[in-house]
Structure 1
Amino acid sequence: MTNDLLAAPSAPEVHLHSFAHALGDPVDIALLDDPGVSGRLDALTAEGLRHCRVSERSAPHLAAASARAALAAADGLVPGAVVLATESRAPSPTQILWETLRSVPLPRTPGLVVSGNGCGNFAPALRAARGVLLTERVPGVLLTFADRLTTPSRYMPDGDTVMSDSAASCLVTAGPPGRPSFRVLAVATSVQADLVPEERVLKGARTIIKAVREALGRINSSIPEPERGFDWFITGNYSATTRRFLTTAAQMPEEKAYSPHHATHGHCYSADQLITLATLEADSRLTHGRRVLLLASSARSWSLTALERVDPTPT
């Protein structure tokens, strides 16, 4: 199954900008009272993981903190809608949305929740934000990702990593915002919802490679000048082995894989990509016209997002 976001010839450009995030406190994973992590501690450390983020604040408090910072960076832009992505269930997604809107505060702003894709909610949430932006002609959409651990252990076997409490936000607007931004070139998703656990053990690597490359093929068939390739590759904060595998699956050279926070942040659910993108934005090597490929994945879905850096006065 596929579900791709391709820009229609007459559709306005969609841009991401005004990034912000809110993280829990850094905690050495060796100090966690967590049998799931302690049982894998040596392996996790060998894979480059050192800290995760632990917060006493709830998911809506983290979401509101990142949203307020993003809106402050947007110089007064008032969004016409909010898209919130979360996998947290305490409180419920509905309550997370209401509490976030009240706390930002945007109590009269329509919102919707995106969920069900595990740590791969980045692309579905972006698709939802783009749809609202272009169909309802609002001045902008606030896109927020927020999760706080609700499972007994922070260890996540898929990706061999440690989960963190976190939130990240940005603004999604039509047309260049007059500041550095990322233009959305395309999004492509591959899904295999009928991949049962026993098949994942036997077919996991082959399934992922096939799914990612099918999505990459659709990305390259829809963006201008696909022969230019991509200058940077971003995925989740997984173990070093997992990140290398996903880089290979996306046919990207290892030296273009960008993961500055895996040791310090742990895996921030679907916020990983936005947090890393914000860091890359501040990198002087990322100049006008450079392209970035993001991979957001879960156990049964794999989404690629192609972005292009846009500076208001290219040099």
Structure 2
Amino acid sequence: MTNDLPAAPAAPEVHLHSFAHALGDPVDIALLDDPGVSGRLDALTAEGLRHCRVSERSAPHLAAADGPVPGAVVLATESRTPSPTQILWDTLRSVPLPRTPGLIVSGNGCGNFAPALRAARGVLLTERVPGVLLTFADRLTTPSRYMPDGDTVMSDSAASCLVTAGPPGRPSFRVLAVATSVQADLVPEERVLKGARTIIKAVREALGRINSSIPEPERGFDWFITGNYSATTRRFLTTAAQMPEEKAYSPHHATHGHCYSADQLITLAALEADGRLTHGRRVLLLASSSRSWSLTALERVDPAPA
């Protein structure tokens, strides 16, 4: 007789694919009627920022992702006009998935990518739905588009992907690990004094958890993606994540501005379309806010030849 219990079955692999996004109209930041931006215009231009995206629509309008009909929608938003509830209803109608249950993720500023992915993965694996539509949608609700954290200009945007269990039979990104560091008690006056040290410590703690949970961590990562911040901020975050600067990928910071939590998904889709990824290549995503820093490790998976 033994007390040994049978090993729990391994959780299915979780994959991201079928990317889509919608942006507001491009506007030269020099033409914005925005004192916050105009007061920093020379510095923002020197940091590589040229345009932001402005939309008059109150809700995102995304084409339905090409793939299995999702059994749930996870929406990440920080917008408050209209309410997150109304944004969810409008999203479900516009996709359209008007009879699909939805879940709202918020509270992490521009760092909602990893929490939303966690929520989508949880729904996918616990409810056994065929897929989850992961969406990010934000439209400016503050007086100024200038964001001091990241020294950047905010844009109106929406982005989505499908989250499915197991390889989808098309190119996809397998989720290897997600790790988040939070310091909710970091008050504004301390952020001035301790900001850089806090961020480096937080990012490297998350990186340590990533490397301890993925296979062959010594392989490292082939590409690094963060938000569309100023050039100085992006270099700093690249260093904090211990990534070489030449592996940082940011093709849209000048043309798109900072699209809240949609940045990472839009940039990942661009990297895929750029033709630089092959089977087995790894990508590290950093989604951050003023008090949270999340890393997501992904691996490119190409379908086996028929």
TM bin (shorter chain): over 0.9
Identify if the C-alpha distance between structure 1 residues 3 and 41 changes in structure 2 by more than 3 Å, giving closer, same or farther: farther
Q: Which segments of 5 or more consecutive residues in structure 1 lack a partner in the other structure?
A: 62-70
Identify if the C-alpha distance between structure 1 residues 185 and 23 changes in structure 2 by more than 3 Å, giving closer, same or farther: same
Identify if the C-alpha distance between structure 1 residues 8 and 128 changes in structure 2 by more than 3 Å, giving closer, same or farther: farther
Provide Cα deviations, 1:44-86, integer angstroms capped at 9, x if missing partner.
Answer: 000000000011112344xxxxxxxxx9675451100000000
Q: Which segments of 5 or more consecutive residues in structure 2 lack a partner in the other structure?
A: none
How many residues were matched structurally?
A: 306
Identify if the C-alpha distance between structure 1 residues 9 and 162 changes in structure 2 by more than 3 Å, giving closer, same or farther: farther
Identify if the C-alpha distance between structure 1 residues 54 and 129 changes in structure 2 by more than 3 Å, giving closer, same or farther: same
Secondary structure at 1:74's aligned position in 2? Answer: coil
Alpha-carbon distance between aligned partners in 2 of 1:8 and 1:280, rounded to the nearest angstrom: 36
Cα pair 2:120 2:132 within 8 Å, conserved: yes
Secondary structure at 1:72's aligned position in 2? Answer: coil
Identify if the C-alpha distance between structure 1 residues 8 and 172 changes in structure 2 by more than 3 Å, giving closer, same or farther: farther
Identify if the C-alpha distance between structure 1 residues 245 and 50 changes in structure 2 by more than 3 Å, giving closer, same or farther: same
Provide Cα deviations, 1:253-281, integer angstroms capped at 9, x if missing partner.
Answer: 00000000000000000000000000001
Alpha-carbon distance between aligned partners in 1 of 2:6 and 2:299, rounded to the nearest angstrom: 14
1:238 to 219, 224, 229: 229
Alignment of 1:40-119 (within 5 A): 40-61=40-61, 74-119=65-110
Cα pair 1:2 1:188 within 8 Å, conserved: no
Partner residue of 2:114? 123
1:165 to 131, 156, 169: 156
TM-score (norm 2): 0.95
TM-score (norm 1): 0.93
Q: CA RMSD in A?
A: 4.6
Alpha-carbon distance between aligned partners in 2 of 1:297 and 1:86, rounded to the nearest angstrom: 14
Alpha-carbon distance between aligned partners in 1 of 2:303 and 2:122, rounded to the nearest angstrom: 25
Identify if the C-alpha distance between structure 1 residues 224 and 254 changes in structure 2 by more than 3 Å, giving closer, same or farther: same
Is the aligned partner of 1:188 residue 2:179? yes
Secondary structure at 1:237's aligned position in 2? Answer: coil
Identify if the C-alpha distance between structure 1 residues 142 and 100 changes in structure 2 by more than 3 Å, giving closer, same or farther: same
Cα pair 1:2 1:189 within 8 Å, conserved: no
Identify if the C-alpha distance between structure 1 residues 266 and 314 changes in structure 2 by more than 3 Å, giving closer, same or farther: farther
Secondary structure at 2:63's aligned position in 1? Answer: helix
Alpha-carbon distance between aligned partners in 2 of 1:49 and 1:3, rounded to the nearest angstrom: 62
Cα pair 2:77 2:105 within 8 Å, conserved: yes
Alpha-carbon distance between aligned partners in 2 of 1:33 and 1:156, rounded to the nearest angstrom: 15
Query: Over alpha carbons, which structure has the higher Rg?
Result: 2
